[in-house]
Chain A
């Protein structure tokens, strides 16, 4: 763009100075990143932030303006139990997923190439399989005529218990679903650990276990933190598995919100519960950001 073209319009007639400055600014913006990100930003503002705003506004205005929904919920023993139950379940699933995921990722990142490939293949298979398919599999396994009941009966447990529609069953299924997430987060970090550190510790006389605990484990810790954060937060918001597999009497918070929308039609309470769930999740992300940095959670 040269001087004359910015001072004159397409028809060659000089424009007033104000318009030229505005046009210049507009042109500068159009040459910059604005047109690249504006569509995505506007799309998310219109179709993500606004509906999210609806929930917040609804929680503060329905049925009447004020904090009534929140004081009612926080004074309700039942709701606090649901919240506690949800946090407990998420914590339990996170610990179990870590206990199962860490050794698997450790072997997969180790020297046994072929075994590692098979292990990662199994993880990928589970990761890509629809949540509903995995839910169906657990319905069969936990069912009254399922393999688990058969097996327990053959061990002499009569009548064999059915884990279907119990919170234990839902917890097992959610753990099974979350192990792949944990493995991928931990594996990404483990793969970059230089094994010479561990060998150096051993050649200096450290017992293999001691070398693992003092050298390898601390180096893999960032992956553990990432995995635990992702799994805990995902489990807090789980809907499908707790609703289909869990106990109707010990629901997690997502299930309660769903009931409020579908059956009770109490949008004020549903919105307030949603805002509380959202605040818990955002607080956890903020903590993570504070101590680790949010950009590390996803980027490798």
Chain B
């Protein structure tokens, strides 16, 4: 067991160490991909946050991700209710349809949208990318929501109903609050999926509607822009902070909160 633990730690290091390399690289003053860098500076971040060619895609991505999240939830929440609470002809087919965007390789859809949106004049438009990302977000949102709905205690709704609440009131005051964590997680997945999507955005988004992944992908291809290191490190630190934040909160609560907890009781 001891050697097995060592093995697991080594594998975890193989997963973690390459990721952390992007942080020192973002402070590198070298123009080339030299590691370790021979000199350090803040310049890459200054360029990243002041260059319209990077900030525009960042804000585009945020806007597209937010719109995608709302549209995905608006479509996936009712569909999940239908899947879990009703039996009807074509339910299996519907389930398959909702999962399909997760199965079809993205390059196939990139070609499909390239052809289809060309005809609809939706290439290089925000609407087009939001539509695409919503299609890709529906499967994972549906999975999370149906899983939560299956474990939902229907007695809560019966209780509200028997106390005289109309169906819509019951939905707003009982059903939705209970499902709130699942809705938040589903929305988060839809947002990150959109914020991360590269392949289709590379083929259908134009200069003005470029997303951050598209800008990063193109700058990788040119192999010229050291600002890419700041962009990468920025995204990585965002994820790292999001993961460490709950841990830090719990630790501070435990150390300073145990005495206070006793007093409060």
Shortest Cβ distance from A226 into chain B, in angstroms? Answer: 14
Contact of A133 among B19, B97, B110 (CB under 8 A): B19
B 174-206 contacts with A by CB, 8 A = 192, 195-196, 198-199, 203
Could you tell me which residues of chain B, from 53 to 109, have a CB within 8 Å of some CB in chain A?
A: 74-76, 78-79, 81-83, 85-86, 88, 94-101, 103-109
Which residues from chain A contact B221 at a C-beta distance below 8 Å? 244
Question: Which residues of A come within 8 Å of B, CB atoms?
Answer: 32-37, 39-41, 43-45, 47-52, 54-55, 58, 100-101, 103-104, 106-108, 110, 112, 115, 118-119, 121-126, 128-141, 143-147, 150, 176, 179-180, 233, 236-237, 239-240, 244, 254, 257-258, 261-262, 267, 270-271, 274, 277-278, 281-282, 285, 294-295, 298-300
Q: How many interface residues does chain B have, given as a range?
A: 35 or more
Residue of B at shortest CB range from A271? B111
Shortest C-beta distance, A211 to chain B (Å), equals 13
Known: A33-B85, A39-B78. A137 touches B108 (CB 8 A): no
Question: A237 near B78 (CB under 8 angstroms)?
Answer: no
- B113: CB under 8 A from chain A? yes
Given B14, B79, B243, which contacts A176 in the complex, CB threshold below 8 Å? B14
Q: Are A236 and B105 in contact (CB under 8 A)?
A: yes
- Interface segment, B39-47, B154-162, B229-237, B257-265? B229-237
Most buried by A among B88, B98, B104: B104
Contact A180 B15 (CB under 8 A): yes
A115 to B138, Cβ gap below 8 A?
no
Residues of A within 8 A of B112 (CB): 51-52, 54-55, 274
A55 surroundings in chain B (CB, below 8 A): 108, 111-112, 115
A298 vs B203: C-alpha distance in the bound complex, in angstroms?
29
Measured in the bound complex, the distance between the Cα atoms of B19 and A126 in whole Å is: 7
| Residue interface bits B208-236, CB-to-A below 8 A is 1, else 0 | 00000100110011000000110010011
CA distance A126 to B9 in the complex (A): 15
Shortest CB–CB separation between residue B154 and chain A, in angstroms?
16
Query: What B residues does A143 contact at CB under 8 A?
Result: 32-35
Choose one: A106, A176, A285, A294; the contact of B15 (CB below 8 Å): A176
A284 CB → nearest B CB, Å: 10
Residue numbers in B under 8 Å from A110 (CB-CB): 1
Give B residues with C-beta under 8 Å from A. Answer: 1, 4-5, 7-9, 11-12, 14-16, 18-19, 21-22, 25, 32-36, 74-76, 78-79, 81-83, 85-86, 88, 94-101, 103-117, 131-132, 134-135, 138, 143, 147, 192, 195-196, 198-199, 203, 213, 216-217, 220-221, 228-229, 232, 235-236, 239-240, 242-243, 247
Given A47-B132, A121-B243: A137 in contact with B21 (beta carbons within 8 A): yes
Q: Verify A128–B239 contact, CB threshold 8 A.
A: yes
Do B236 and A298 have beta carbons less than 8 Å apart? no
Q: Are B8 and A119 in contact (CB under 8 A)?
A: yes
- Besides A54-B112, A101-B11, A282-B103, 17 other CB < 8 A contacts? A36-B78, A39-B74, A39-B79, A44-B97, A48-B135, A100-B14, A108-B8, A118-B12, A122-B16, A132-B196, A133-B232, A136-B220, A141-B21, A145-B34, A150-B35, A261-B111, A278-B104
